[in-house]
């Protein structure tokens, strides 16, 4: 189907997509800084996900996979009468780390931009509150 689209039509579509995701990305980064100061959030140019790194705010021994499992099994945040959680992907398996070196992915999680903007706007608050819950119980 794309073979039948003009170069101009495709370029317009790409511009629209970039604008759509760029707005969400900028809002997400600003909100993370507000809700969880010290967290590191990537600002990708060509992907529709961000990587959140909690190494500067997490207690020693933090494991992103365990945090993700906590969120999936029991982590809940009440927002507007709804109990919500957040599903993110741990980044530990993303890196090839030679023996003995620390895996940077142990404190990193990927957040995909797969929900509409109004739902994505909840992500920084959800993440921050779930992170605090998790850190308080370990």
pLDDT for 100 equals 79
CB 46 within 8 A of CB 125: no
Q: Would you state the structure tokens that stand for residue 37, as one six-digit string?
A: 């100061």
pLDDT for 88 equals 97
Whether 126 shows a pLDDT value over 90: the answer reads yes
Strands 49-53 and 40-41: antiparallel
Q: What is the pLDDT of residues 47-72, one digit of tens each?
A: 899 999 999 999 999 999 999 999 99
Q: What is the pLDDT of residues 106-124, one digit of tens each?
A: 999 999 999 999 999 999 9
């Amino acid at each position: 189907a794309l073979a039948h689209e003009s170069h101009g039509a495709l370029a317009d579509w790409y511009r629209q997509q970039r604008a759509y995701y760029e707005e969400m990305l900028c809002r997400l980064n600003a909100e993370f800084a507000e809700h969880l100061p010290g967290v590191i959030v990537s600002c990708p140019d060509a992907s529709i996900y961000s990587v959140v790194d909690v190494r500067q705010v997490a207690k020693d021994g933090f494991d992103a996979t365990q945090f993700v499992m906590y969120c999936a099994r029991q982590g809940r945040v009440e927002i507007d009468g709804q109990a919500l959680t957040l599903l993110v992907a741990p980044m530990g398996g993303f890196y090839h780390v030679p023996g003995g070196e620390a895996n940077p992915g142990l404190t990193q999680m990927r957040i995909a931009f797969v929900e509409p903007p109004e739902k994505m706007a909840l992500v920084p608050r959800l993440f921050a509150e779930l992170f605090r819950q998790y850190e308080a119980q370990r």
